[in-house]
Amino acid sequence: MTNRLTITLAQLNPVVGAVSGNIDKVRDARRQAAEAGADLIVCSELVVSGYPPEDLVMKPFFLDKVAAAVTAFAAETSDGGPAILLTAPWRDGERTFNAVLLLDGGDVTAVRYKHDLPNYGVFDEVRVFDAGPMPGPMDFRGVRIGVPICEDIWTPDVPECLEESGAEILLVPNGSPFDLEKTDQRLQHAVARVTETGLPLAYVNQVGGQDELVFDGASFVLNADRSLAVQAPDWKEAIVTTEWRRGDNDVWVCEGSRVERPSEGFESVYQAMTLGLHDYVEKNGFPGVLIGLSGGVDSAITGAVAVDALGPERVRCVMMPSPYTSRESLEDAVEAAKLMGVQLDEVGIQPAMTAFEGMLEPIFGDATADVTEENIQARSRGLILMGISNKLGYMLLTTGNKSEMSVGYATLYGDMCGGYSVLKDVYKTTVFELCHWRNQHKPENLMGPAGRVIPERIITKPPSAELRPDQKDEDSLPPYDKLDDILRCLIEGEMGVEDIVSRGHAPETVQRVWHMLDLAEYKRRQAPPGVKITHRAFGRERRYPITNSFRRIL
What is the model's pLDDT at position 552? 58
Q: Per-residue pLDDT for 324 more than 80?
A: yes
Distance CA 383, CA 160 (A): 58
Known active-site residue 150? yes
Q: Please say whether the dihedral angle defined by the alpha carbons of residues 219, 224, 227 and 229, taken in this order, is positive or negative.
A: negative
52 preceded by cis ω (within 30°)? yes
Q: What mean pLDDT value characterizes the chain?
A: 94
E-assigned strands of 295-350?
Answer: 315-319, 343-346
The domain locations on the chain are 4-255, 266-472
375 burial via Cβ count (<10 Å: 0-12, 13-18, 19+): middle
Query: Is the domain covering 4-255 a CATH 3.60.110.10 domain?
Result: yes
What is the model's pLDDT at position 462? 85
Q: Per-residue pLDDT for 553 more than 60?
A: no
444 burial via Cβ count (<10 Å: 0-12, 13-18, 19+): exposed
Catalytic choice (114, 283, 523, 532) = 114
Q: Please say whether the dihedral angle defined by the alpha carbons of residues 17, 21, 27 and 29, taken in this order, is positive or negative.
A: negative
What is the model's pLDDT at position 551? 67
Catalytic choice (43, 125, 150, 404) = 150
Q: What is the pLDDT of residues 369-408, one digit of tens each?
A: 999 999 999 999 999 999 999 999 999 999 999 999 999 9
Q: What is the pLDDT of residues 221-248, one digit of tens each?
A: 999 999 999 999 999 999 999 999 998 8
Q: Per-residue pLDDT for 554 more than 60?
A: no
Phi, psi at residue 79, to the nearest 5°? -80, 0
Residues near 254 by beta carbon (within 8 Å), at least 6 away in sequence: 200, 202, 221, 223, 229, 230, 242, 243, 244
Helix (H) / strand (E) containing 516: helix 507-519
Higher pLDDT, 541 or 282: 282
What is the model's pLDDT at position 546? 87
Sheet of strand 40-43, all strands in order from the earlier edge strand to the far edge:
107-113, 95-104, 83-92, 40-43, 4-11, 238-246, 252-255
Q: Per-residue pLDDT for 143 more than 70?
A: yes
Task: Give the percent of the chain with pLDDT over 90.
Answer: 87
Q: Per-residue pLDDT for 542 more than 90?
A: no
Distance CA 55, CA 88 (A): 14
Long-range contacts of 180-185 (CB under 8 A, 24+ apart): 180/268, 180/269, 180/533, 180/534, 180/535, 181/535, 182/216, 182/535, 183/216, 183/218, 183/262, 183/268
Long-range contacts of 166-169 (CB under 8 A, 24+ apart): 166/137, 167/137, 167/197, 167/199, 168/137, 168/143, 168/144, 168/199, 168/250, 168/252, 169/5, 169/143, 169/144, 169/145, 169/199, 169/200, 169/201, 169/202, 169/244, 169/252
**The dihedral formed by the CA atoms of 169, 174, 179 and 185, expressed in degrees to the nearest 10:** -20
Of 527, 437, 512, the C-alpha closest to 482 is 512
Other beta carbons within 10 angstroms of residue 83's beta carbon come to 23
334 burial via Cβ count (<10 Å: 0-12, 13-18, 19+): middle
- Beta 228-231 vs 258-259: how paired, if at all? parallel
Known active-site residue 45? yes
Q: Are 52 and 210 in contact (CB under 8 A)?
A: yes
Known active-site residue 43? no
**Based on C-alpha coordinates, what's the Rg of the chain?**
26
Q: What is the mean pLDDT of residues 434-444?
A: 94
Query: Coil, strand or helix: which one is 328?
Result: helix
Instruction: State the SS3 of 363-387.
Output: HHCCCCCCHHHHHHHHHHHHHHHHH
Residue 318's pLDDT band, with cuts at 50, 70 and 90, is very high
Q: Are 399 and 291 in contact (CB under 8 A)?
A: yes
237 burial via Cβ count (<10 Å: 0-12, 13-18, 19+): middle
Alpha helices in 49-174 (DSSP H): 60-76, 125-128, 157-164
- Cα distances from 194 to residues 113, 186, 198, 230, 473, in angstroms, run 21, 12, 5, 15, 51
Other beta carbons within 10 angstroms of residue 256's beta carbon come to 9
Q: Are 275 and 209 in contact (CB under 8 A)?
A: yes
What is the model's pLDDT at position 547? 86
Of 134, 143, 84, the C-alpha closest to 109 is 84
- Beta 107-113 vs 95-104: how paired, if at all? antiparallel
Task: Give the percent of the chain with pLDDT over 70.
Answer: 99
Catalytic choice (25, 45, 317, 435) = 45
Lowest model confidence (mean pLDDT) among 319-323, 333-337, 469-473: 469-473
Higher pLDDT, 61 or 257: 61
* CATH no., domain 266-472: 3.40.50.620
Q: Are 241 and 11 in contact (CB under 8 A)?
A: no
Residues near 479 by beta carbon (within 8 Å), at least 6 away in sequence: none
